[in-house]
Structure 1
Amino acid sequence: MMARMTARGRSEAHRAATPLELFFDLCFVVAVAQAGKQLVHALAEGHPGHGVPGYLMLFFAIWWAWVNFSWFSSAYDTDDSLYRVVTLVQMAGVLILAAGVPRAYDGDFAVVWFGYLVMRLALVAQWLRAAHGSTGPERTTALRYAAGVTLCQAGWLAVLLSPENVRPWVFLALAVAETAVPTVAERDHQTAWHPHHIAERYGLFVIIMLGETVSAATIAVQSAVDEQEELGNLLPIAAGGLLLIFAAYWIYFAVPIHLHLSSNRQAFLWGYGHYLIFGSAAAIGAGIEVAVEESVGKAHISQFAASACVTVPGALFMFTVWLIHSRHQKRGLAQQLVLPVSSVLVLACTFAGPTAVLSAGLVASLTVAAGVTLTARQGQALGN
């Protein structure tokens, strides 16, 4: 049965992620894994100037496709047959994009662009359906979204046609245009996204990124042990990486954020900032893989560079989680300083030689302990 697509209420009780949304998210595991694999290869070969910009561009494409779907579904999910079919088409586009990631790292964006085209045609159809079921300013907003997405998708052709040396700048200009679409579209009317639902969706995607990191690190350690049998060199990396990942989970979910998302101004800044949170969370796993390869002599980089592949994304994750996410719930100077100071200390662990990854994991664990202690003391003070 097909329902009329109308906006859902922001005050709707017990709003949670649907099985279809979780299924949609799982498709991105493939895309993120492909991007991470290419990043590992580039970093291990000593080509960060090629690997990092490529990763940032491709991860933006992956992240933005997920953002487009998630905010639309928060406002208009009807969960009827037509909505499910169109969402499955979007998922097919994600898988096409994932298949094109290796080619894109070599400069051929054709498959990625086609995957994006499939996703965007489905998304535009959803916005046009929302416009059909709406009136007044809400209808205007939906039509602006449809037009903006269409224009941006046409603009991505410039990436295919641009010379390689100017392609990053063309990509940057189009990324700015993409992120401007919601601001322009919702100038007169805000879509009815649900704060609790959006917070849960972003939290679930963080878990997926950290899960991908665990998977990548496990495979790297297993392969190294099978081929090299140098468990003594790998245990500090494995232990430190695991501590860093566990701490990343704890740090992100230490605060409830949905109460902060009261309007587009707060929500959009928070949502856009997650590009760095998601990207750095996934990059931690790539960094652990590089550190493992360096420890067994398979990477063509120094130990310092391999350590930086873990500590830089680890520090970036901690700092951006504080900046975008958790500082809104912190009280007092001590609580506010924990994550910024810890991110600097994690970065300093780059100089710790063979124990760099383990040191970073221990710093992250102490960060969690400090946060828990300060929160408990504040609760006692308020109780007294």
Structure 2
Amino acid sequence: MSETRLRPPQLRTDGTTDDNRHATWLELFFDLVFVVAIAQLAHRLHDDHTLIGVLGFVALFVPVWWAWIGSTFYATRFDTDDVEYRLLTAVEMFGVIALAVNVHGGLGETSRGFALAYVLVRSVLVFKYFRAHRHLPDVRSLTAPMGIGYTIAALIWLVSVFVPTPYRFGLWGVAIAIDIATPILVRRQHIDIPVHPTHIPERFGLFTIIVLGETIVSVVAGISIQEWAPTTILMAICSTVIAFSLWWLYFDNYDESALRTAREEGRMGTYFAWIYVHFPFAIGITAIGVGVLGVFTGGLADPLPPTERWLLAGSLALCLLSLGLLHRTTLSCAGRRPIAGVQSIYRFGTAALVLVVGIGGWWIPPIGFIALLTIACLLQIGVGYGIRGPTSTPSWAD
């Protein structure tokens, strides 16, 4: 049984504790509310996947993703799992649930509720940083600017509640820009007070599993509304293979070298690129699930409508593009730059081909379209094995 009495925050990334740290039970429970939030975002996109709908989906995905980022990066440094921290995390969870409730009308009738929910989530994070600032003088060069930046952004979100649309959304954009820029502006402190090099990659991996799960949910939901037939079964198989292939491509090239090199060599550009490229990757995976469900709920005999076709092709292309960029922040840091470069080229090239299929595939029936995307994913796995060869030992593992 863990000790949960009140105790002050402690720096958990100072190299003296938790060398092989893993996600806690509380973090895994915390992730569950994001499963709900991601599902609500996906439902919103399913209801409107026109260009305006896609842009709205992305706009609302940003604060949801950033709420997870903020809590995760605080926890990797200062999580003490005491009573106060658990209660604060519970309040954050209520805030994320409120975000999920307000997602559908987040750019309309429930935008005030969405803004207030985000203010609640960020206010808890600001209080956590204030708590760490008070108890840990040695890390105030990090906690002070982070707390100030996040406070300013939260106040702008709060002010937006009293501003009419569309000006309210302009304030949201300013606040999110401040939120995202705050960690970059204190880049030196990320070297002096680094994140945990094994805990953070695991947390990002778990979030990737969450969004991949949305694709599987879409397959199940889609096949349950169709009659069992060879075409339906083949569609389900292909859709699942696409999700499995993305899992394979991500985790087959998964390592913590971007964080290690930031900590040991000060390569902060690679560090921030690794973090932020996960956002379009998560967007793409979620949109694939929505596209798959759209295919199942439409006619399986007629060619896909342009919006369905573009949603599937565009989201898969975005995933492949993101994977190509991620390869350059992981494998290259691990001393395998030629392989990282070649794999990235294949990802970028295949992303372009998928877009070509999206443009010219107006005559292809749904099963054929899904099959082509599946073949593109499987080829990426085969190419990866063909060019990889023996791997070198990362410099940080010597």
**TM-score normalized with structure 2 length:** 0.85
Q: Give 1:373 shift.
A: 2.2
Q: 1:1-384 alignment to 2 at 5 Å?
A: 1-9=5-13, 11=15, 12-43=18-49, 48-136=50-138, 138-157=139-158, 159-161=160-162, 164-165=165-166, 169-185=170-186, 187-188=188-189, 190-223=192-225, 225=226, 229=227, 231-261=229-259, 262-263=261-262, 264-295=268-299, 303-325=305-327, 328-329=330-331, 331-332=338-339, 334-350=342-358, 351-352=360-361, 353-354=364-365, 355-376=368-389, 378=390
Change (3 A) 1:216 1:106: farther
CA contact (8 A) 1:311 1:349 kept: yes
Q: Work out the CA distance in 2 between the residues paired with 1:193 and 1:327.
A: 16
Q: Give 1:304 shift.
A: 3.6
Amino acid across the alignment from 1:251? L
Structure 1: 4+ residue segments shifted above 6 A: none
Moved more, 142-151 or 57-66: 142-151
Q: Work out the CA distance in 2 between the residues paired with 1:152 and 1:20.
A: 26
Q: Work out the CA distance in 1 between the residues paired with 2:328 and 2:299.
A: 35
Moved more, 247-256 or 117-126: 117-126
Moved more, 102-111 or 241-250: 102-111
CA contact (8 A) 1:311 1:357 kept: no
Moved more, 346-355 or 186-195: 186-195
Q: Work out the CA distance in 2 between the residues paired with 1:322 and 1:258.
A: 16
Q: Give 1:220 shift.
A: 2.1
CA contact (8 A) 1:346 1:360 kept: yes
CA contact (8 A) 1:10 1:193 kept: no
CA contact (8 A) 1:281 1:314 kept: yes
Aligned length: 368
Q: Give 1:336 shift.
A: 3.6
Amino acid across the alignment from 1:201? R
SS of the equivalent of 1:104 reads: coil
Change (3 A) 1:39 1:141: same
Moved more, 313-322 or 328-337: 328-337
SS of the equivalent of 1:195 reads: coil
Q: Work out the CA distance in 2 between the residues paired with 1:5 and 1:60.
A: 28
1:300-336 CA distance string (max 9 Å, x none): x953431221111111101111113456415345434
SS of the equivalent of 1:103 reads: coil
1:222-275 CA distance string (max 9 Å, x none): 12x1xxx37355344323211211110001011232022132443222112211
1:125-184 CA distance string (max 9 Å, x none): 111110111114x12421222222121011124544555455554433322111111123
% same residue? 27
Q: Give 1:379 shift.
A: 5.4
SS of the equivalent of 1:257 reads: coil
Q: Give 1:197 shift.
A: 0.8
Q: Work out the CA distance in 2 between the residues paired with 1:192 and 1:285.
A: 35
Change (3 A) 1:49 1:347: closer
Q: Work out the CA distance in 2 between the residues paired with 1:9 and 1:193.
A: 6
Q: Give 1:79 shift.
A: 1.3
CA contact (8 A) 1:239 1:358 kept: no
Q: Work out the CA distance in 2 between the residues paired with 1:96 and 1:108.
A: 11
Structure 2: which 5+ residue stretches go unaligned?
263-267, 332-336, 393-398
Q: Work out the CA distance in 2 between the residues paired with 1:130 and 1:275.
A: 27
CA contact (8 A) 1:36 1:283 kept: yes
Q: Work out the CA distance in 1 between the residues paired with 2:357 and 2:282.
A: 22
Q: Work out the CA distance in 2 between the residues paired with 1:68 and 1:62.
A: 10
Q: Give 1:117 shift.
A: 2.0
Moved more, 285-294 or 91-100: 285-294
**TM-score normalized with structure 1 length:** 0.88
Q: Give 1:202 shift.
A: 0.3
Q: CA RMSD in A?
A: 2.4
CA contact (8 A) 1:199 1:257 kept: yes
